[in-house]
Amino acid sequence: MQLTILGYNSAIPTMHSNPTAQYLNIRESGILIDCGEGTQVQLRKAKIKFNSINQIFISHLHGDHVFGLPGFLSTLALLGRTTSLTIYGPKGIKEFIENQLKVTQSRREYELIFIELHSTQSELIFENKKFEVYTIPLNHRTYTNGYLFKEKPLQRNLNIEAIKHYSEIQTCDYQNIKDGKDFILSDGFIVKNESLTFDPPKPKSYAFCSDTMYNESILPIIKEVDLLYHEATFLEELKKLAFKTGHSTALEAGSIASQANVKKLIIGHFSNRYLDYNVLLEEAKQQFKNTELPITLQTIDI
Amino acid sequence: MQLTILGYNSAIPTMHSNPTAQYLNIRESGILIDCGEGTQVQLRKAKIKFNSINQIFISHLHGDHVFGLPGFLSTLALLGRTTSLTIYGPKGIKEFIENQLKVTQSRREYELIFIELHSTQSELIFENKKFEVYTIPLNHRTYTNGYLFKEKPLQRNLNIEAIKHYSEIQTCDYQNIKDGKDFILSDGFIVKNESLTFDPPKPKSYAFCSDTMYNESILPIIKEVDLLYHEATFLEELKKLAFKTGHSTALEAGSIASQANVKKLIIGHFSNRYLDYNVLLEEAKQQFKNTELPITLQTIDI
């Protein structure tokens, strides 16, 4: 699983960083998470093929998270896309997008499928053989979800050298062995699966927690994820402002990461009052050591 | 009058240039012309103060000319703007913008005034003491206007040295002299205005001709402007495609400039099939020598 940060700043744009957007490559599936203005150019700069994206997950309908979507969808049409594209987001996103594409007369040959969310409970919203996506209900000024992306366990890897010792094991038995089953020889001897296979890579998980105030109810959902992105708009000294505007402080982001026992934390969505983000990093680190600042267009191996 | 090109590429975004947007400083009034995605960041890069803009002129409702507008208007609200802002554009622009600002819960303390256009005849749509703005009806796939910005003649400049020779001329007479009136001495002698004043700078004019097919009917409107921006999406060898898509070739843009006897032509809105825009420049120059390519973030003195 690889995450590319396309932008991480808050609503007021700067010359140096873009509003929220991330690209997740999960088992060769391309996923766009939020889509602030200018995301399509960021995708170009990151050399990500537009057509690799088949799912878009939008956290909430504030401009700095969605104003890049109409442009991106129009460009896909101009590039001749025919494969369908699914957009997950708050109730209302379908009308919002369709209105803009209609007024600007964007004609497309691909199907846009909208999955509108309204539950305030975490729910499984996508699943295939490779991964699952759950919502993470957040607490912001408007209906907002984070998303948890979880790889599914892979098949076990065959230990061919070990298998060769048993002439009875045929190629047609391999799938059962990959699925973790023991092999029973004709004399009744049980060959334990562990002696015939290697452990597959551990499934990875990524939790994206967009705009939210401090919210302990997300802890069970994001528990022990390999990577947590959590907003940290303010320093703790502006805790009241954070609460009022539905945002978190860096200390709170670190606290959430610590309590959830995640492996790594990346903070973002910084207020434009901070010129040096290291003050936010240092504050988050007080609660959770393995915290990092995002780097635009950097790809992180999860 | 000064024009800053913020972006000039056509619909498919590239890493190197932005979609259409221009900033015009006309007698200290700031005007934004079209507003493709990413325009607000371009304004920052050009060090143009957002609050200097009090009027926005939108040519047509295709995404590459308007998708930057919701983000820019939201940012003005976040920056605490209170001065009203007027947007001129095709009928439908009000609903398009208001829908987006409503869904994204953008709250503002400034008034947005929409002037929706629908006439297919050139009309005077704004006038103050300093300048006038006329529509230039264009011929594109959707209702589209270019805009003609015309400075009004300035007052004449006083020739203080010459005035000193006439003790009868008092300070209170200056306004009449600036207005071009002769001065009559008490003995009846008429002092000609030209001997008391210098010519003011000649009023300048700028014509913005956004997406359009070749259209001779604009010639009387843009006649002898100091600067013409005209789209030149294709080379003449793709004239049929230009016609079909409602665009112009570089040769046609040059021909329009030549027939209108303008002083200077800038071409833009190039199809992304052209990697070197000099082929378009050379073709336009066949018809009109004083043609230039746009340079992003360059400010041109008109």
**Distances, alpha carbon A190 to alpha carbons A174, A180, A187, B99, B302, in Å:** 16, 13, 9, 68, 89
Mean pLDDT of B47-74: 97
CB A16 within 8 A of CB B80: no
Note whether B10 contacts A: Cβ–Cβ < 8 A: no
How far apart are alpha carbons A300 and A132 in whole angstroms?
20
Q: Annotated catalytic sites of B, by residue?
A: 64
Residue with tokens 């959830």: A260
Query: Between vectors from CA A136 to CA A132 and to CA A138, what angle results, nearest 5°?
Result: 165
Q: What is the pLDDT of residue B11?
A: 79
Q: Annotated catalytic sites of A, by residue?
A: 64
Judged against a pLDDT cut of 90, whether residue A214 lies above it is answered with: yes
How far apart are alpha carbons A117 and A94 in whole angstroms?
11
Mean pLDDT of A271-282: 95
Q: Is A9 exposed, middle or buried (0-12, 13-18, 19+ CB in 10 A)?
A: buried
Contact yes or no for A12 and B79 at CB 8 A: yes
As a residue count, chain B comes to 302
3-class SS of residue A13: coil
Q: Summarize pLDDT for A42-96 with one digit per residue, the tens.
A: 999 999 999 999 999 999 999 999 999 999 999 999 999 999 999 999 999 999 9
Could you tell me how far CA B135 lies from the centroid of its own chain? 11
Q: What is the pLDDT of residue B13?
A: 80
Continuous segment of H or E residues that includes residue B127 = strand B124-127
How far apart are alpha carbons B174 and B152 in whole angstroms?
20
Residues of chain B neighbouring A273 (CB-CB closer than 8 A):
none
Residues of chain A neighbouring B64 (CB-CB closer than 8 A):
71, 74
Q: What is the pLDDT of residue B15?
A: 80
How far apart are alpha carbons A150 and A302 in whole angstroms?
11
DSSP state of B46: T
Q: What is the pLDDT of residue B215?
A: 96
Q: Binning pLDDT at 50, 70 and 90, where does residue B60 land? A: very high
Residues of chain B neighbouring A78 (CB-CB closer than 8 A):
11-12
Q: What is the pLDDT of residue B10?
A: 85
Continuous segment of H or E residues that includes residue B99 = helix B93-103
Residues of chain A neighbouring B13 (CB-CB closer than 8 A):
40-41, 44, 71, 75
Q: Are strands B291-292 and B265-268 parallel, antiparallel or unpaired?
A: parallel
Of 3.40.1280.10, 3.60.15.10, 3.30.70.100, 1.25.10.10, which CATH number belongs to A2-154+201-301?
3.60.15.10
Burial A200-218 (b: 16+ CB within 10 A, else e): eeebbbbbbbbbbbbbeeb
Judged against a pLDDT cut of 90, whether residue B8 lies above it is answered with: yes
What sign for the dihedral angle of Cα A262, A266, A272, A273? positive
DSSP state of A211: S
Contact yes or no for B41 and A45 at CB 8 A: no
3-class SS of residue B290: coil
- Other residues' Cβ atoms within 10 Å of the Cβ of residue B91: 12
Q: Summarize pLDDT for A227-264 with one digit per residue, the tens.
A: 999 999 999 999 999 999 999 999 999 999 999 999 99
Q: What is the pLDDT of residue A6?
A: 97
Q: Binning pLDDT at 50, 70 and 90, where does residue B174 land? A: very high
Q: What is the pLDDT of residue B103?
A: 92
- Least confident segment among B2-6, B115-119, B272-276: B272-276
Residue of A74, A81, A233 to mutate for B, most B C-beta atoms under 10 A: A74
Q: Summarize pLDDT for B146-172 with one digit per residue, the tens.
A: 999 999 999 999 999 999 999 999 999
Q: What is the pLDDT of residue A232?
A: 98
Q: How many A×B Cβ pairs under 8 Å?
A: 99
- For B191, phi and psi rounded to 5 degrees? -90, 115
Q: What is the pLDDT of residue B189?
A: 95
* Token digits of residue A90: 């708050």
Mean pLDDT of B84-101: 96
Contact yes or no for A70 and B79 at CB 8 A: no
Residue of A34, A42, A64, A67 to mutate for B, most B C-beta atoms under 10 A: A67
Q: Summarize pLDDT for A12-31 with one digit per residue, the tens.
A: 888 888 999 999 999 999 99
State which amino acid sits at residue B51: N
Q: Give me chain B's average pLDDT, please.
A: 96
The crossing angle, in degrees rounded to 10, of helices A250-259 and A278-287 is: 30
How far apart are alpha carbons A218 and A214 in whole angstroms?
9
Which of A11, A38, A104 has its CB closest to that of B61? A104
CB B97 within 8 A of CB B70: yes
How far apart are alpha carbons B34 and B67 in whole angstroms?
9
How far apart are alpha carbons A269 and A115 in whole angstroms?
25
Residue of B49, B62, B100, B114 to mutate for A, most A C-beta atoms under 10 A: B100
Q: Which residues contact B93 (CB under 8 A, 6 or more apart)?
A: B58, B61, B66, B87, B114, B116
Among the listed residues A288, A300, A220, the one whose alpha carbon sits nearest the alpha carbon of residue A258: A288
**Distances, alpha carbon A61 to alpha carbons A86, B16, B30, in Å:** 17, 29, 31
Q: Give me chain A's average pLDDT, please.
A: 96
* Token digits of residue B192: 């000609």
Mean pLDDT of B104-131: 96
Q: Summarize pLDDT for B245-291 with one digit per residue, the tens.
A: 999 999 999 999 999 999 999 999 999 999 999 999 999 999 999 99
Parse chain B into domains and list their residue ranges: 2-154+201-301, 157-198
Contact yes or no for B78 and A12 at CB 8 A: yes
Q: Which residues contact B40 (CB under 8 A, 6 or more apart)?
A: A13, A37, B50, B68, B71, B72, B75
What is the pTM for the complete model shown?
A: 0.90
3-class SS of residue B44: helix
| ipTM exceeding cut-off 0.90 for this assembly | no
Judged against a pLDDT cut of 90, whether residue B16 lies above it is answered with: no
Q: What is the pLDDT of residue A31?
A: 98
Residues of chain A neighbouring B79 (CB-CB closer than 8 A):
12
Mean pLDDT of A130-134: 97
3-class SS of residue A150: strand
Q: Summarize pLDDT for A166-195 with one digit per residue, the tens.
A: 999 999 999 999 999 999 999 999 999 999
- For A19, phi and psi rounded to 5 degrees? -70, 175
